[in-house]
Amino acid sequence: MIKASVIGGTGYAGQELIRILMRHPEVEVVTIGTRSFSGQKFSDVYGNFESITDLVCEATDITVLAEKSDVVFLALPHGIASKTVTADVLKKTKVIDLGADFRLKDIDVYEDWYKTEHFNHPLLNEAVYGLCELHRDEIKKAQLISNPGCYTTCSILSLAPLLKNNLIDTSSIIVDAKSGVTGAGRGTITELMYSECNETIKAYKIGSHRHTPEIEQELRLLNGQDFNILFTPHLVPMNRGILALSYAKLTADLSLEEVKAIYKDFYHDEYFVRILENRMPETRWVKGTNYCDIGLTIDPRTNHVIVVGAIDNLIKGAAGQAVQNMNICFDLAEKTGIDFIADFPI
């Protein structure tokens, strides 16, 4: 059995991660780390774990967990992992970081967008970006994996075949994305209260969202060009889900069927990416799953391709992808423990 510990286990992504790991046939959860609920039973924090686990939350250190864990998951805000993950820790255990500290390879870009110092420059080169569909071979050998963000996962998977095949004008890329409120975490924030976010929709962090350079970094790797995208996120009144609409101008005269064929070829071996034929993606059909649904259309009037992507922000956008990374690292079948079908209606 793989012995797994989770630091930050009482946030939304951490709880979802523990829920998945406790059902995983090859995993034993040995520690749930959290300072906010230290000393409390995990089932007292999340009632859905009643009679399922007696684990007590601990305010523990990653150096301690490294001694007894085969893998340590970090579900923490940015700025913490770069202080705590060290080369000595990585000699003893694998680390999968759901935060942002090791996603961006350019330290200046990280510090500019996140407005905080990075405390471990050397490990940036060692960290592997954990988007499984694009970096599987590197993930297999990694000790430190930076799990991608939710907006980022949906946007990159939606656009990757177009960039890889040089089919679009890179200066024309626009990503218009919507997220459920769990994407902002479990903190007590006024604008996330029910009465504040229900019956309304709003754009936020226009032109300044921290996932922007992450999307650009990975898309640039696909075609070697230097370009910027226009990314705008929105908050919608639902618990979970990401819907990302990406727009770009085609550089070739292609039919919709030809573009779909390119996507199907690019993702032909990818179990968790579904290219839809007769409908467009909806968050309800990926809710509670590790799937990314992608739909396509072409606007012949403007010669633009429009790509619609949908994921569950807490699973393919966080915990499920983290477990997918773990499965790759430990040479397990990739869908082990995360082969969920969406519940409906819910």
Active centre residues (catalytic): 150
Measure the CA dihedral 308/309/313/318, to 10°. -150
Query: Cα-Cα-Cα-Cα dihedral of 61, 65, 66, 71, to 10°?
Result: -120
User: Distance between CA 273 and CA 42 in Å, rounded?
Assistant: 33
Q: Distance (Å, rounded) from C-alpha 28 to C-alpha 322? A: 16
C-alpha of 142 from chain center: 18
Whether the CB-CB separation of 272 and 291 falls below 8 Å is answered with: yes
Sorted by sequence, the CB contacts under 8 Å of residue 345 that are 6+ apart come out as none
312: helix, coil or strand?
coil
Quote the DSSP letter at residue 337: T
Beta-bridge partners for 144: 95
Q: What is the CA radius of gyration of the chain?
A: 20
List, as own/partner pairs, every contact residues 86-89 make where C-beta atoms lie below 8 angstroms and the sequence separation is at least 24, other chains included.
86/120, 86/123, 87/122, 87/123, 88/63, 89/62, 89/63
- Expressed in angstroms, the distance from the first to the final Cα of the chain is 33
